[in-house]
Amino acid sequence: MSVRLVVDVRVKKGTGDDLSRAYAALVARAAQQSGLIDHQLCQSLEESDRWLVISEWETMEQSTAWDRNEDHGRLLAPMRACFARADRAAFEVRDGACSRGG
């Protein structure tokens, strides 16, 4: 089974655009990593300062390898500068469906 990592973030006031730009740079590099299935940046509809960074990996080991990659640390720094608070959790994907058709 794959693993999904969820980072629940509260951003500092006025940094949402900075977070989006920094994320775009990070995800462009992450997309080149072995084992990455999906990566998303989501903003809450109810709380504009609340964001989720969600990634899904084939294995926890592949996610950990990316976390330890020098590029990851360098690209994550501008995102962290936007964080007022961040909480991270890892989950094993047990079941689900995906329908991305029209």
Q: Residue 1: what pLDDT? A: 85
- Distances 78 to 26, 31, 46, 62, 70 between C-alpha atoms, Å: 10, 18, 25, 23, 14
Give the residue from 86, 6, 16 showing the smallest Cα distance to 49: 16
Write the CATH number for 57.
Answer: 3.30.70.100
Distance from C-alpha of 8 to C-alpha of 80, rounded to nearest angstrom: 12
101 in any annotated domain: no
21 in any annotated domain: yes
- 102 band by pLDDT with thresholds 50, 70 and 90: low
Distance from C-alpha of 13 to C-alpha of 56, rounded to nearest angstrom: 28
Q: For 2-27, how does the pLDDT look when each residue is reduced to its tens digit (9 = 90+)?
A: 999 999 999 999 999 999 999 999 99
45 in any annotated domain: yes
pLDDT tops 70 at residue 50:
yes
Q: Residue 99: what pLDDT? A: 74
Q: For 60-91, how does the pLDDT look when each residue is reduced to its tens digit (9 = 90+)?
A: 999 999 999 999 999 999 999 999 999 999 99
100 in any annotated domain: no
**What does the mean pLDDT of the chain come to?**
95
E strand or H helix at 30: helix 16-30
Domains: count for the chain: 1
